[in-house]
């Protein structure tokens, strides 16, 4: 049966749900459900900012966020969707967080009093570096702050939140909090054939579900979504095929060679995804964001 609603893990779908002017109530509601009590007070209003940032020098890499916004108090929010595992993803989010910090610098005399920065990553995969920590491995939301070695918070104005959507396993009748409902919505939206009972009568969810309905798209929006969906599916297929081949070929190599082999396979996946994105007409900057490749590496394809 064809999907009735957009896939939130496509670039178009994510922007449709959270990145348009009409999406502000949904974005505010989602962020409040995630950040309280991390944030001292609820977000009342937000302003979308330019999601593309350039470095101070020609050698600095361009950064492109999915959503970049600010509230009435000047607090900054970067919200990113990452569909598949990517090398150095954590490093990338830390790099991105430096831009809303540095842009607060004022000319002349300035006391360095910074507004808070929140970086939210909605992940279609799980991190694989938990080793034997089963509790961490099963968590859905990971909150990271700068801390002392005794785990007391050193600085409370820089927060990273990673949401591992595959770890969210709650059924509809088990949902309790507002965040539970948002995670259920994000994970299952594409499978809805009608508005679930738990969302009926809820103004925010009813509105966002109606805007996510594919039948409401005009021709241009439909073409944009179909292209975004194709890139999403192609990239997932590339990753799945590489992992399957890696498992099969990994049996044939020794333990000493496995780390080098894994790095080579990851590189091949990056290049294959970049090639798919280029065929779909995506810009070099967008491809760099998705794959982690440099502009020069993409231009050499």
The 10s digit of each residue's pLDDT in 187-210 is 999 999 888 999 999 999 999 999
Helix (H, G, I), strand (E, B) or coil at 63: strand
Which 3 state secondary structure label does DSSP give 211? helix
Q: What is the pLDDT of residue 213?
A: 94
Residue % of the chain over a pLDDT of 70: 80
For residues 230 and 38, what is the distance between their CA atoms, to the nearest angstrom? Answer: 37
299 sits in which H/E element? helix 295-299
What is the distance, to the nearest Å, from the Cα of residue 93 to the centroid of all Cα atoms in its chain?
A: 10
At 59 the pLDDT is 33
Q: Whole-number mean pLDDT of the chain?
A: 82
pLDDT of residue 100: 92
Q: What is the pLDDT of residues 254-289, one digit of tens each?
A: 544 544 544 555 667 677 777 777 777 777 877 777
- Hey, what are 206's tokens? 């009813």
Q: What is the C-alpha separation between 133 and 273, in angstroms, rounded?
A: 31
Mean pLDDT of 69-87: 88
Evaluate whether 124 touches 167 at the Cβ level (below 8 Å). no
Q: Is the dihedral of CA 175, 9, 15, 96 positive or negative?
A: positive
Domain boundaries, the chain: 1-216, 219-301
Peptide bond into 229 cis (omega under 30): no
Tell me phi and psi for residue 197, to 5 degrees: -55, -40
For residues 170-178, give the mean pLDDT. Answer: 94
Q: Is the pLDDT of residue 52 over 70?
A: no
Question: Given pLDDT bands bounded at 50, 70 and 90, which one contains residue 147?
Answer: very high
Q: What is the pTM of this model?
A: 0.76
How sure is the predictor about 150, in pLDDT bands with cuts at 50, 70 and 90? confident
Sorted by sequence, the CB contacts under 8 Å of residue 103 that are 6+ apart come out as 53
**63 has pLDDT over 50:** no
* Helices (runs of H) and strands (runs of E) counted in the chain: 10, 8
pLDDT for 218 beyond 70: yes
Does position 224 have pLDDT exceeding 70, yes or no?
yes
């Amino acid at each position: 049966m064809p999907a009735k609603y957009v896939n939130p893990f496509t670039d178009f779908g994510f922007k449709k749900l959270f990145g348009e002017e009409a999406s502000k109530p949904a974005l505010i509601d989602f962020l409040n459900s995630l950040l309280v009590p991390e944030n001292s007070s609820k977000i009342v209003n937000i302003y979308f900012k330019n999601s593309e940032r350039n470095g101070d020098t020609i050698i600095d890499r361009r950064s492109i966020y999915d959503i970049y916004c600010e509230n009435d108090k000047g607090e900054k929010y970067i919200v990113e969707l990452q569909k598949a595992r990517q090398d150095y993803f954590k490093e990338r989010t830390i790099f991105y967080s430096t831009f809303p910090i540095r842009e607060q610098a004022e000319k002349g005399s300035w006391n360095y009093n910074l507004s808070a920065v929140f970086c939210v990553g909605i992940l279609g995969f799980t991190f694989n570096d938990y080793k034997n920590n089963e509790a961490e491995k099963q968590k859905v939301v990971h909150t990271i702050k700068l801390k002392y070695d005794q785990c007391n918070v050193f600085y409370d104005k820089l927060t990273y939140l990673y949401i591992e959507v595959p770890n969210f396993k709650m059924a509809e009748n088990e949902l309790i909090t507002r965040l539970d409902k948002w995670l259920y919505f994000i994970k299952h939206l594409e499978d809805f054939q009608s508005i679930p009972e738990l969302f009926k009568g809820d103004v925010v969810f009813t509105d966002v579900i109606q805007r996510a309905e594919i039948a409401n798209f005009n021709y241009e929006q439909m073409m944009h979504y179909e292209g975004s969906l194709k890139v999403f599916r192609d990239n997932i297929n590339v990753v799945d095929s590489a992992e399957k081949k890696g498992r099969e070929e990994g049996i044939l190599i020794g333990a000493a060679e496995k780390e080098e082999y894994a790095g080579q396979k990851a590189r091949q996946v990056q290049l294959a995804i970049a090639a798919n994105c280029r065929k779909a007409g995506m810009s070099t900057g967008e491809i760099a964001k998705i794959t982690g490749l440099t502009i020069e590496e993409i231009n050499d394809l």
